[in-house]
Amino acid sequence: MAHTFVKDVMNKKIVSIDQNKTIKETAQLMSKSDVGCAIITEDNSPIGIITERDFVKRIVADNKAGSDLVKEVMSSPLITIDSDETVWEAAEMMKTKNIHKVVATENDAIVGIITTSDLVKICSTGSDSEMRRICDQILLRMEKSQ
């Protein structure tokens, strides 16, 4: 299986929680679901994300209480990538924005999450021909857009 596109490697397990839930409730949900992030919603629409990194930088380091609302510590706006984009484009986005997780969408609906760990797995198992295939896809898209 080629790992050229985000949809090929993204994790489809999505966990979401309302913005008015507490940090503790969010942590419990993430732990129970065995995920490293949760999508934060307002009226069932995604507005942000909270990651394990946020727990370190915005909660523990800032002495936030478990009873504080998750909307106070979430990362926003939500950064997304179309699931038909290449993993190379996802990696470039992560590098440029200094993030480790990008939410994948199809027709503006969230369908998965791609992480730096997903990209490392590809690199560790990918071959030169697979990397060439990814580059070819990028070049084709660039030619079409000109």
Residue 28 lies in a domain: yes
Residue 15 lies in a domain: yes
Residue 120 lies in a domain: yes
Q: Return the CATH number at 121.
A: 3.10.580.10
Residue 35 lies in a domain: yes
Residues 53-72: what's their mean pLDDT?
Answer: 94
Cα–Cα distances in angstroms (integers) from residue 115 to residues 13, 19, 35, 138, 146, in the given order: 12, 23, 12, 20, 30
Tell me the β-bridge partners of 115.
101
What's the domain range around 12? 6-145
Residues 51-73: what's their mean pLDDT?
Answer: 94
Residue 1 lies in a domain: no
Residues 75-103: what's their mean pLDDT?
Answer: 93
Structural domains of the chain, count: 1
Q: Is the pLDDT of residue 94 over 50?
A: yes
Global pTM?
A: 0.78
> Checking DSSP bridges between strand 37-42 and strand 109-115, what pairing results, if any?
unpaired
Residue 128 lies in a domain: yes
> Checking DSSP bridges between strand 109-115 and strand 80-82, what pairing results, if any?
unpaired
Residue 104 lies in a domain: yes
CB-based contact 122:20 (threshold 8 Å)? no
Task: Identify the three-state secondary structure at position 97.
Answer: helix
Residue 47 lies in a domain: yes
Residues 45-69: what's their mean pLDDT?
Answer: 94
Q: Which residue has the tokens 């370190």?
A: 56
